[in-house]
């Protein structure tokens, strides 16, 4: 049985695909890669089919990650049945996801798994800024990915 995770931001070209690549790497390092599928999507569909933002891809590459295979997708309400864990990058996308989630389905913030992050901490959208915003996003998702991986390890035993 495979445990399935979906990480969600707005357009699925910056934050959530960066988090997808990082979390997949962390899970592989812990020996859980074959037991966990990590995917990402956006609440909006205007970038569907597009590759990752070039700045996000470059930042990942400069830090030893490969995000070249990514293609943006839009999360839809019927996807909740596909995933064991759905995590939003910020409160706006969390609200959208909770609004479409079936009764009883829990959706959380990605950074809620980082023990050093304050309650309600978000991964900020770097899209309209410079390269330093993408480096900040990478640092934040690396910190939270460790906690997400621990949670998944506890879940799957």
Q: Which of the residues are catalytic?
A: 9, 15, 125
Q: Is 74 helix (H, G, I), strand (E, B) or coil?
A: strand
Q: Quick one: DSSP state of residue 13?
A: S
Q: What is the CA radius of gyration of the chain?
A: 14
User: How is residue 88 written in tokens?
Assistant: 């939003």
Q: Quick one: DSSP state of residue 70?
A: -
Q: Quick one: DSSP state of residue 54?
A: H
CB-based burial of residue 31 (10 Å sphere; 0-12 exposed, 13-18 middle, 19+ buried)? exposed
d(CA 11, CA 138): 17
Listed in sequence order, the residues at least 6 apart from 141 whose beta carbon sits closer than 8 Å to its beta carbon are 15, 18, 19, 22, 23, 110, 123
């Amino acid at each position: 049985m495979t445990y399935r995770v979906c990480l969600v931001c707005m357009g699925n070209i910056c934050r959530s695909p960066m988090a997808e690549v990082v979390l997949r790497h962390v899970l592989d390092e812990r020996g859980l890669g074959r037991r966990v599928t990590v995917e990402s999507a956006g609440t909006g569909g205007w970038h569907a089919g597009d590759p990752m933002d070039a700045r996000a891809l470059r930042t990942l590459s400069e830090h030893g990650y490969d995000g070249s295979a990514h293609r943006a997708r839009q999360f839809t309400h019927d996807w909740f049945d596909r995933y064991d864990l759905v995590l939003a990058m910020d409160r706006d996308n969390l609200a959208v996801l909770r609004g479409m989630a079936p009764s009883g389905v829990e959706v959380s913030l990605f950074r809620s798994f980082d023990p050093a992050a304050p309650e309600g901490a978000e991964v900020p959208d770097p899209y309209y800024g410079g390269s330093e915003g993408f480096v900040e996003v990478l640092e934040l998702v690396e910190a939270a990915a460790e906690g997400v991986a621990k949670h998944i390890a506890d879940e799957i035993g």
